[in-house]
Structure 1
Amino acid sequence: MKFLPRIHKLTIDLHASRLSSNLEQTTDGTVEVLRPVEEEDLGSINRSKGKKNSRNVDFDVLGGGKYKIPMIYYEEAIRDDIFDNVLLNHGENHEMQEVSGLQEIMLSKANSSNNEIQNEQIDLDTLLISCSDAVSINNRQLAHELLMQIRNLSSRTGSGTQRLASILADGLEARLAGSGSKLYRRLVAKRINTADVLKAYHLFITAAPFYRVSFCFANTNILKLIGNASKVHIVDLGSNFGFQWPPLIQSLATRKGGPPKIRITGVDFPQRGFHPSKRVEEIGKRLEDYAKSFNVPFHYQGIASQWESICIEDINIIDDEVLIINSICQFRRVRDETSTADSPRNRVLQLIRQMKPQLFIHGIFNATFSSFFNMRFKQVLSCYSMSFDVFDSLIPRENEQRKLIENDLLAPVIINLIACEGSDWLERPETYKKWQLRNARAGFEQLELDPVVVNECRKKLRYGYDKRFFVDEDGKWLLQGWKGRKRYALSTWKPTGNSYANNIGTF
């Protein structure tokens, strides 16, 4: 190690070159990617030459803790037939066949009777609430006794009620032991293959219309706004793995007069581990590949950062571009006034206002959780009982993608809500009525719902989804839910004083 050049000579500037310039194809078809390691990752790192003879090296001896070090690792495929089948627009018949196919599977796999499920839920709900009361007053003996009863009745492979109870029991046990933050960090650090997430996403949009309607709402509004514009810049706050954008790129490719130049700035929270920007970089490569296949001029910039730390210079605003800010159900992870005196949530809204977008698309997870643990636990139990009810009603219990959604995507969120406090409590959604007040105070004007957009969203429900799903309107909000309970809300905004063109042209 003494013969290596100083660390700063190994530094690479990802902003100085396009993302694709860091790719190198190997003989076996895998892709080697040169990545910088952030300073928090410099404790110990795995350096390897090729695929073999890897060894651990302690970089502390180099004394270069504030520099970035390039690192080579092997990357999974960024796109294949599965991605195309799930993400691209294949027409209404294709989507209807998927939804009806899942319904046929459920009809052939009858679950427990409704009476048995209701009685089971009442018993477990009573035990869980009693246990949360015992945990809140630190009555360890009673809490452990109740946890044993909950464990005996719950299961990660049983009914939806049993599965949720098992996750909640983990959270209560961690909170009682004071290890909630440690458990949460371990859960979110688990590596999940993007292809597996895609399969889980495919299952979710086949069973429930929530994301399909949300992306339809956003993309239809974007297409109407763009019209015949030649340059478009979309700032995507919270990437959702970039699943929203391939159908938009596909639609723009067929626009009369040719597609516009599209620039997407993907902003996501940094991942834990050696590669905090790995996800946004993978999204960029995937979207570049889609744009290339559809002959759409495209540029992507990925930013892995806490949103409140971003300044307007990072976004690189260009005056002659149509600027659109898009955020679908990700604002809930930006801290609010209850976690810090200076609200990061308001700072992000002020940044958006400073950017002066022609359109701000805001989708939210409609829920609120109290800072008092007893009340919060009951709210979490009620909120996520709906999610597990949807799964149990529409997805077979043995389905592997359902297990991934519940155990790898939902469980960390639930654990964070009930086992973490202070700055470690990250999941803080608000109701759409609170967001309406917050956005208005930040200097935004809410726009009327476009009847054409609303009709397109309602059409998604007619693809054969369960009749217990609904799409409704409340003022200028488009609401989605299950069995009368409002779970998601969508709206469009503009900074006060900005002109807004509902339709610049036709496409």
Structure 2
Amino acid sequence: MLLNSFLVPTLYTETILFHPTRFHSLAEEKKAGARNVSSSPIPFYRLISSKAQPTLRSIFRTFIMDPMLDYINRYLLEEEIDELNINTYKDEAALQDIKKHFYEILVQKYPPTPNEQLLTSSKSDLSSSSSSTSKSSNNNMLAESLPVMEYCRGIEEGMKFLPNINMLVANFKENIVSADPFEVKYENSASFKLAEKDELGMMSRSRRKKYSSGRNLDILEGRNSKISMIDSEEPVRDDVYDEVLLDHGDHRLKGEIWSLRETLKLEASSGVPKEIQGDHHELYTLLIRCSEAVAIYNQQSAQELLNKIRMQSSPNGNGIQRLASVLADALEARLAGVGSEYFRRLIAGLVKSPDIYFLKGHHLLIRAAPFMRVYYCFSNRNILNVARNASKVHVIDFGLHFGFQWPSLIQALSKIEGGPPKLRITLVERPQPGFRPAKRIEAVGQRLKEYARSFNVPFEFKGIASQLESIRIEELNVNDDEVVVVNSIFRLREVSDETFAIDSPRDQVLKLIRQIKPQIFIQAESNRSYSSFFLTRFRQVLSTHAVFYDLLDSTIPRLDQERQMPENVHFVPDIINSIACEGADLTYKPETLKQWQRRNLRAGFEQLPVDLDIVKECKNMVRDGYDNRYFIQEDDNWLLQGWKGRVLHGVTAWKPKLEEGC
């Protein structure tokens, strides 16, 4: 390569200019014929006067050929090239200086080298010191700095092609992620924003705050590998928790439900603002077309479609506009190649939120929809049925849910005739980022202990921060003299599922539950399934969540400040993970109720019939206070819930099947 770069051009030039057969006068060349001259290369000496030719030949050999050939000879014959890098750069600088004098003889301006341009633009100490030193010391300093400068320049050029993941910011309130936290618009990358926090410590959707480039994002966001947990100063229990989590009778909750519905009617009568009107069909079409462009990584078309979707969507609009806003963020993150990082930051933001945020979102959701109330009623009634004559009850809860279900169970156990049994609750939840992975579980345990003390219920609590598939039966401390209940509400869908594996993680969890031998296993799941193919999965996510967002849009006022809380907790993580992530990072893999039924039967469980009294109580709950478009029914031992004729969720009870011969 060096031979081709230095030797070949030099030899070609010398052949044209100085070869004996080519170096002849113009008169002799004219005698040879104009055709032969025009067909051969034009010698350099023809461009200048004949008087200057001897001088130029002497200058060329003395200052160009001899130094260059000597340079090439030493460069090719030297065995230890690395030891002479500095000298090589010095010789190169001297050669550049000689060539500059040659340009001056020809009365031409010598072009600056790239290194000199880089040196001038950087305004380094080299330029300031060169004014007070000689030209030789200037060349030496330049030569010594060239390796470092070239190395830094290569790194700078290479970094332009890499996404700045360490500076990526996820705003789970606005469902936005960014490779550029300072809102500089880069082509083919998601334009994600920083947002300020509201009084709950959550990211604000409607407000946007710009930060200067001098701000340290590690301070704004927390270090990626050291996400801090919630502050221990948060109250363990107060009146707000009591109002939401305890049973105060149906009349109080009915009043809250009717108040919410009246606010919704008042908002509807005042007219729909123009900014939340739109063509639903056109938005659906744009979303489908954009997903197709993202699937084939057509960045130009995808960006154009995303811009159109942004113009018609809004995080504060109607249901489809809110959904389109979240889907657009997910598609943009996938297109930018930062989907997994975006989802991780999204979950980290939720982890850092205080429990009161989730409590308010939970309170709004149970006033707008009966889903969680039905699950808690079904679960607590079944636990009370098996615990009525027991002295010890052990509830193993797969899934934290902040312990919102258990204060009402403690309250109900305290009313059992003859005194309440001893209650043990074991919470199993995945570890949280930070130095204390079980801190939130411990806070829930302290809260439940306070409720048990106030209701005089003997209580014992244990929290385990672990993935469900990693739990061993020895960690649960199951005793033979206690009634064991396993409770899982929307938790098993987050366990990974290797469909083609002999023993998938979901089957391992079901095997663990069977080893526990509970008197009852209560399971609530969503009635949906996502494909492994992106385009099919996108349509499934769009169809499923369009129902959920329509449900919230029909039952919660759009201007309610707390409306985004249930959206951010229950829907946004599912959407972002299902659309922006792929492969091992695709953690949300729900199955239909029929699929779960077949899986549990294969695992050795038998399904228990639904108690008709529980069905009647849940139907009365839905009919008395909620929108008449909700429905609840029993089918194939599942208690089903839905909206506008579509089944959304189901809850059922299982028990391990007795082995033959037992």
1:136 corresponds to which residue? 295
Shift of 1:374: 0.2
Shift of 1:340: 6.4
2:519 corresponds to which residue? 358
1:86-121 Cα offsets, whole Å, 9 max, x none, are: 000001111211111111111111186799989622
Q: How does 1:380-419 map to 2 (within 5 A)?
A: 380-407=541-568, 409-419=570-580
Pick from 265, 268, 274: which aligns with 2:426?
265
Verify the 8 A CA contact 1:120 1:161 in the aligned structure 2: no
Pick from 305, 328, 331: which aligns with 1:146?
305
TM-score w.r.t. length of structure 2: 0.63
- The one-letter code matched in structure 1 to 2:387 is I
2-structure distance, mates of 1:399, 1:275: 34
Shift of 1:268: 1.0
Answering whether residue 334 of structure 2 is matched by residue 183 of structure 1, we say no
2:233 corresponds to which residue? 75
1-structure distance, mates of 2:384, 2:456: 18
Which stretch shifts more, 184-193 or 304-313? 184-193
1-structure distance, mates of 2:308, 2:385: 55
Q: Which structure has greater helix proportion?
A: 2
Shift of 1:399: 1.5
Pick from 202, 212, 216: which aligns with 2:377?
216
Paired residues, number:
433
Closer, same or farther: CA 473–72 of 1 in aligned 2, 3 Å? closer
Pick from 104, 107, 127: which aligns with 2:265?
107
2-structure distance, mates of 1:201, 1:77: 18
2-structure distance, mates of 1:413, 1:360: 25
2-structure distance, mates of 1:463, 1:72: 38
2-structure distance, mates of 1:308, 1:251: 32
2-structure distance, mates of 1:106, 1:407: 21
Answering whether residue 588 of structure 2 is matched by residue 427 of structure 1, we say yes
2-structure distance, mates of 1:384, 1:339: 28
2-structure distance, mates of 1:308, 1:403: 32
2-structure distance, mates of 1:157, 1:115: 12
Verify the 8 A CA contact 1:92 1:463 in the aligned structure 2: no
2-structure distance, mates of 1:73, 1:217: 34
Verify the 8 A CA contact 1:280 1:302 in the aligned structure 2: yes
- The one-letter code matched in structure 2 to 1:431 is T
Shift of 1:367: 0.9
Provide the secondary structure at the position in 1 that maps to 2:268: coil
Provide the secondary structure at the position in 2 that maps to 1:219: helix
- The one-letter code matched in structure 1 to 2:249 is G
2-structure distance, mates of 1:492, 1:246: 21
Provide the secondary structure at the position in 2 that maps to 1:131: helix
Pick from 234, 242, 247: which aligns with 1:89?
247
Which stretch shifts more, 314-323 or 336-345? 336-345
Provide the secondary structure at the position in 2 that maps to 1:110: helix
Answering whether residue 502 of structure 2 is matched by residue 336 of structure 1, we say no
Higher relative contact order (CA 8 A, sep 6+): 1
1:210-267 Cα offsets, whole Å, 9 max, x none, are: 0000110111111111112110000001121111111110011011000000000011
Closer, same or farther: CA 340–169 of 1 in aligned 2, 3 Å? farther
Shift of 1:72: 12
1-structure distance, mates of 2:603, 2:331: 37
1:44 corresponds to which residue? none
Closer, same or farther: CA 349–379 of 1 in aligned 2, 3 Å? same
Provide the secondary structure at the position in 2 that maps to 1:74: coil
Q: How does 1:240-251 map to 2 (within 5 A)?
A: 240-251=401-412
Provide the secondary structure at the position in 2 that maps to 1:75: coil
2-structure distance, mates of 1:318, 1:407: 39
Q: Please list every run of 5 or more consecutive structure 1 residues that lacks an aligned counterpart in the other structure.
A: 1-55, 61-70, 500-507
2:466 corresponds to which residue? 305
Verify the 8 A CA contact 2:615 2:633 in the aligned structure 1: no
Verify the 8 A CA contact 1:447 1:476 in the aligned structure 2: yes
Shift of 1:401: 1.6
2-structure distance, mates of 1:223, 1:458: 19
1:378 corresponds to which residue? 539
1-structure distance, mates of 2:596, 2:573: 24
1-structure distance, mates of 2:345, 2:500: 22
Shift of 1:342: 4.0
1-structure distance, mates of 2:659, 2:619: 30
Shift of 1:275: 2.8
Pick from 288, 298, 302: which aligns with 2:449?
288
1:32 corresponds to which residue? none
2-structure distance, mates of 1:498, 1:149: 60
Verify the 8 A CA contact 1:187 1:408 in the aligned structure 2: no
- The one-letter code matched in structure 1 to 2:314 is S
Q: Which structure has greater strand proportion?
A: 1
2-structure distance, mates of 1:363, 1:197: 20
2:658 corresponds to which residue? 497
Provide the secondary structure at the position in 1 that maps to 2:625: coil
Answering whether residue 259 of structure 2 is matched by residue 98 of structure 1, we say no
- The one-letter code matched in structure 2 to 1:427 is Y
- The one-letter code matched in structure 1 to 2:320 is T
Closer, same or farther: CA 73–364 of 1 in aligned 2, 3 Å? closer
Shift of 1:74: 3.4
1-structure distance, mates of 2:230, 2:631: 48
1-structure distance, mates of 2:568, 2:397: 27
1-structure distance, mates of 2:430, 2:654: 23
Shift of 1:338: 4.2
TM-score w.r.t. length of structure 1: 0.82
1:42-85 Cα offsets, whole Å, 9 max, x none, are: xxxxxxxxxxxxxx99x99xxxxxxxxxx996331111100000
Q: Please list every run of 5 or more consecutive structure 2 residues that lacks an aligned counterpart in the other structure.
A: 1-221
Provide the secondary structure at the position in 2 that maps to 1:462: helix
- The one-letter code matched in structure 2 to 1:86 is V
2:209 corresponds to which residue? none
Verify the 8 A CA contact 2:396 2:485 in the aligned structure 1: yes
1-structure distance, mates of 2:512, 2:614: 27
Which stretch shifts more, 119-128 or 150-159? 119-128
Provide the secondary structure at the position in 2 that maps to 1:376: helix
Shift of 1:498: 7.8
Answering whether residue 507 of structure 2 is matched by residue 349 of structure 1, we say no
Verify the 8 A CA contact 2:400 2:441 in the aligned structure 1: yes
2:281 corresponds to which residue? 122
Verify the 8 A CA contact 1:308 1:347 in the aligned structure 2: yes
Closer, same or farther: CA 469–242 of 1 in aligned 2, 3 Å? same
- The one-letter code matched in structure 2 to 1:163 is R
2-structure distance, mates of 1:153, 1:475: 43
Provide the secondary structure at the position in 2 that maps to 1:197: helix
1-structure distance, mates of 2:632, 2:273: 25
